[in-house]
Amino acid sequence: QDADACYRTLGIIHSLFRPIPGRFKDYIALPKANGYQSLHSILVGPYGIPLEIQIRTFKMHQLSETGIAAHWLYKKGDKKASESKELANEWLRELLELQKTAGDSFEFIDNLKVDLFPKEVFVFTPRGSVIKMPRGSCIVDFAYAVHTDIGNKCVSARINRRLVPLQTQLENGMTVEVVSSSWAKPNPIWLNYVVTAKARSAIRTYLKHFKTGEAINLGKRLFKRELKAIGLTKKSVSSEQLNQLVTNFSLDSLDQLYEAIGLGDRMPFVVVQRLVDLAALGEIALASSKQKTDSPLIIKGTEGIVISLPKCCRPLPGDPIIGYFNPGRGIVIHRLECKNSSDDRKKQNQWLNVEWSDKVADNEFSADIRIELLNERGSLATVASTISTMDSNIENVRIVDQDERVSVDLITITVLDRVHLANIIRKLRKLSLVLKIIRVKV
């Protein structure tokens, strides 16, 4: 009849049959996201055969068989319907939240499949509140479960007062405190390890709007740069001429045109040439063609996801670089010596003269080093410790070759710029166990 009777029944059954450790689930105290409540226990039955029992009240059983919505309707005339109604409302609120953040109906259905009946873990906030999460959830999932703004601004977390990275998976009983920062923003890499629909949808929504804004800003810079190359400024072009240009490209606004330029879908020199043709500016352009310069686009390191740094050569501030327009991705920056950019440079209309700014933002960049060291106990730990003392982190280690004497490792580390990397290599080269070390080139 009630929860108390369920627990007393469980006690009686456990006194008759031995329960299997770790196979007891209390969904009465901690209901599932869909409102399901019951006690589950697996016992060692007669002749050693495992026996599963489920204990619940009639009301809980009806909810498990027919679902929240049907249970709500059944109890509609009942004075005790408020509890059922609240369960239904909570579930419907979660569905509406999924629907709001989903990009389209297909994404909504995919998200719903993930969240319908997940295996759950229960973790605590620092204030003692219990949060239900699907098994396999990480810190980022938890942050978004608390609040979307916290998820968007999270940088790390403390589990049981110990600092841990965002990809750390949650386990039952953990106390999780999210560390956030006003300057932080969602990272596309998070999509590789989040599992909840809310986190995935919120990250995608943010990145979509963020990418649009970045693409517009980059498109404006490229458009102005191309105008300057033929001796014009944006002020010398009227609003009417710009609107005519937008219409000619079958777009709805100037921002859409800037976005297309920033994403690499429209080449800036083609857009400006079309403007010259449409607005009858040929004489102006011709008269100033002698002033045309190929001034480089300055890369500050804050442009975000519309300017990407590929893994093939991992360019760093201080490296000679070249930009390549990649439709849909914006500008891809290669090191000038990168073999993968040699084919791109043959397409004159798609490559761009770029340079690092003298004051690059204080960001971390990835760099690959190939190191040959003596294959001794603790040698890799010594290398890792040395890298750490140089204010750098190791992102990945891969053993390329190894024998009894020598180990050849490929290590990915974080650095601020080319000088920082050079200092780390110089420091490692002084270690007696290091035989050879170089920066990886494609």
Among 199, 207, 26, 205, smallest CA distance to 114 is for: 199
Neighbours of 136 (CB within 10 A): 15
Same-domain status, 304 and 282: no
Tokens of 239: 């609003």
Is residue 243 situated within a structural domain? yes
**Which pLDDT score, from 0 to 100, does residue 143 have?**
95
Residue 382 has pLDDT above 90, yes or no: yes
Is residue 370 situated within a structural domain? yes
Residue 50 sits in a domain of what CATH number? 3.30.460.10
Tokens of 320: 């000679």
Same-domain status, 373 and 424: yes
Ramachandran class of 366: left when φ > 0, alpha when ψ lies in -120 to 50, beta otherwise: beta
Considering only residues 290 and 157, tell me which one the structure prediction assigns the higher pLDDT: 157
Q: What mean pLDDT comes out for the span 164-178?
A: 88
Domain final residue, candidates 268, 291, 314: 291
Q: How confident is the model at residue 337 (pLDDT cuts 50, 70, 90)?
A: confident
Residue 423 has pLDDT above 90, yes or no: yes
Same-domain status, 188 and 122: yes
Is residue 285 situated within a structural domain? yes
pTM more than 0.95: no
Average pLDDT of the residues of the chain: 82
Q: pLDDT tens digits, residue range 223-254?
A: 988 888 887 887 888 888 888 889 988 999 99
How many domains, the chain? 5
Residue 184 has pLDDT above 60, yes or no: yes
Among 104, 276, 111, smallest CA distance to 195 is for: 111
**Which pLDDT score, from 0 to 100, does residue 145 have?**
92
Least confident range from 6-10, 82-86, 175-179: namely 82-86
Tokens of 229: 């190359």
Residue 385 sits in a domain of what CATH number? 3.30.70.260
Domain final residue, candidates 318, 333, 356: 356
**Which pLDDT score, from 0 to 100, does residue 291 have?**
45
Domain final residue, candidates 261, 291, 321: 291
Q: pLDDT tens digits, residue range 26-73?
A: 888 887 766 778 999 988 887 777 788 999 998 888 776 655 555 454
Q: How confident is the model at residue 164 (pLDDT cuts 50, 70, 90)?
A: confident
Residue 220 has pLDDT above 60, yes or no: yes
Same-domain status, 385 and 330: no
Residue 183 sits in a domain of what CATH number? 3.10.20.30
**Which pLDDT score, from 0 to 100, does residue 283 have?**
42
Is residue 227 situated within a structural domain? yes
Same-domain status, 176 and 123: yes
Give the Cα separation of 244 and 273 in Å (integer).
13
Q: What mean pLDDT comes out for the span 399-427?
A: 93
Is residue 83 situated within a structural domain? no
Q: What mean pLDDT comes out for the span 169-194?
A: 87
CA-based angle 38:43:47, to the nearest 5?
145
% of the chain at pLDDT higher than 70: 81
Is residue 89 situated within a structural domain? no
Is residue 106 situated within a structural domain? no
327: containing domain: 298-356
**Which pLDDT score, from 0 to 100, does residue 442 have?**
67
Is residue 412 situated within a structural domain? yes
